[in-house]
């Protein structure tokens, strides 16, 4: 039944699909994992802080980001960031922010809200006695957080961080609204140009599937290596 299909279209366009499309998708994903978890952890610490202003800000931020669709946030940041940039450096004209930088900022800020809730649960899962033990040895708040609480919180949360990361990896395909060519965008362009919709979209689905399976496998191995022995 696949007689009229031409899967050769994939191999012929593989360099473009990988070097342009997949390169962007992976670059964006990795940057957002790193920035998102760093911002997210800071947000979680703020939300759990006893300083009211910090926790109110973090709570408002997290709730806002989690109740708005990602596509809306992408548009919003794309049009807003140039003006915020201009305001920060006091420029009379909007700052030109490339689509790539704009998407990195958007996804990081958006995912940070989700990572923050995961890290918050992780931090709260650490018994209070661990914090006491750190303080009793003379460690200050930052030392206790960085050396005792976060390493354990992070290990406990690896499976959920993975789930969120896989969702985020798939959501990177939404950058098409900024006319950026990610992997799915590259596949679509070829599909339209050559009229090979079925082939290209099957290929894209298989690639996303394989990558997610491989990431899951690698993270599970990592998780076993860093697991806390109980």
Partner 1 sequence: MAMIEIRNVSKWYGSFQVLTDCTTSVEKGEVIVVCGPSGSGKSTLIKAVNALEPVQKGEIVVDGVKVNDPKTNLPKLRARVGMVFQHFELFPHLTVRQNLSLAQALVLGRPQHEADERGLKYLDRVGLIDQKDKFPGQLSGGQQQRVAIARALSMDPICMLFDEPTSALDPEMINEVLEVMQKLATEGMTMMVVTHEMGFANRVANRVIFMDAGHIVEDASKAEFFGKPRSERAQQFLAKILHH
Which residues bind to partner 1, rule: CB under 8 A?
A: 127, 129-130, 132-133, 135-140, 143, 147-148, 151-152, 155, 228-230
**How far is 202 from 40, CA to CA, in rounded Å?**
34
Helix H, strand E, coil C: the string for 147-171 is: HHHHHHHHHHHHHHHHHHHHHHHHH
Which CB atom, from 90 or from 230, has the smaller least distance to partner 1?
A: 230
Q: How far is CA 45 from CA 52, 61, 64, 129, in A?
A: 12, 13, 18, 18
**How far is 155 from 147, CA to CA, in rounded Å?**
13
**How far is 27 from 47, CA to CA, in rounded Å?**
29
Which CB atom, from 167 or from 222, has the smaller least distance to partner 1?
A: 222
**Considering the complex, what minimum distance in angstroms separates the CB of residue 216 from partner 1?**
23
**Considering the complex, what minimum distance in angstroms separates the CB of residue 135 from partner 1?**
6
94, with CB counted inside 10 A (0-12, 13-18, 19+), is middle
Which CB atom, from 69 or from 159, has the smaller least distance to partner 1?
A: 159
**Considering the complex, what minimum distance in angstroms separates the CB of residue 139 from partner 1?**
6
Which CB atom, from 124 or from 130, has the smaller least distance to partner 1?
A: 130
Q: Find the length of the chain.
A: 230
**Considering the complex, what minimum distance in angstroms separates the CB of residue 214 from partner 1?**
27
Which CB atom, from 90 or from 225, has the smaller least distance to partner 1?
A: 225
Comparing CA positions, the residue from 161, 26, 50 lying closest to residue 104 is: 26
**Considering the complex, what minimum distance in angstroms separates the CB of residue 83 from partner 1?**
43
Which CB atom, from 57 or from 135, has the smaller least distance to partner 1?
A: 135
**Considering the complex, what minimum distance in angstroms separates the CB of residue 107 from partner 1?**
30
Residues in Cβ contact with 190 at an 8 Å cutoff, skipping those fewer than 6 apart: 9, 13, 16, 17, 196, 200
């Amino acid at each position: 039944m696949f007689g009229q299909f031409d899967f050769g279209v994939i191999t012929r366009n593989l360099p473009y699909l990988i070097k342009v499309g997949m390169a962007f998708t992976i670059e964006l994903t990795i940057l957002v994992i790193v920035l998102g978890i760093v911002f997210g952890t800071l947000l979680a610490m703020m939300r759990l802080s006893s300083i009211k202003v910090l926790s109110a800000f973090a709570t408002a931020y997290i709730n806002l980001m989690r109740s708005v669709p990602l596509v809306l946030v992408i548009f919003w940041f794309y049009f807003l960031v140039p003006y915020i940039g201009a305001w920060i450096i006091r420029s009379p004209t909007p700052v030109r922010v490339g689509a790539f930088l704009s998407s990195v900022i958007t996804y990081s800020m958006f995912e940070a809200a989700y990572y923050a809730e995961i890290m918050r649960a992780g931090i709260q899962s650490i018994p209070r006695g661990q914090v006491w033990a750190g303080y009793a040895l003379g460690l200050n708040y930052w030392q206790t957080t960085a050396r005792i609480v976060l390493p354990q919180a992070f290990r406990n949360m690896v499976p959920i961080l993975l789930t969120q990361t896989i969702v985020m990896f798939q959501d990177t395909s939404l950058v098409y609204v900024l006319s950026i060519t990610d992997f799915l965008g590259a596949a679509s362009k070829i599909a339209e140009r050559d009229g090979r919709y079925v082939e290209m979209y099957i290929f894209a689905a298989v690639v996303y599937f394989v990558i997610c399976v491989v990431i899951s496998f690698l993270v599970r191995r990592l998780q076993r290596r860093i697991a806390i022995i109980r």
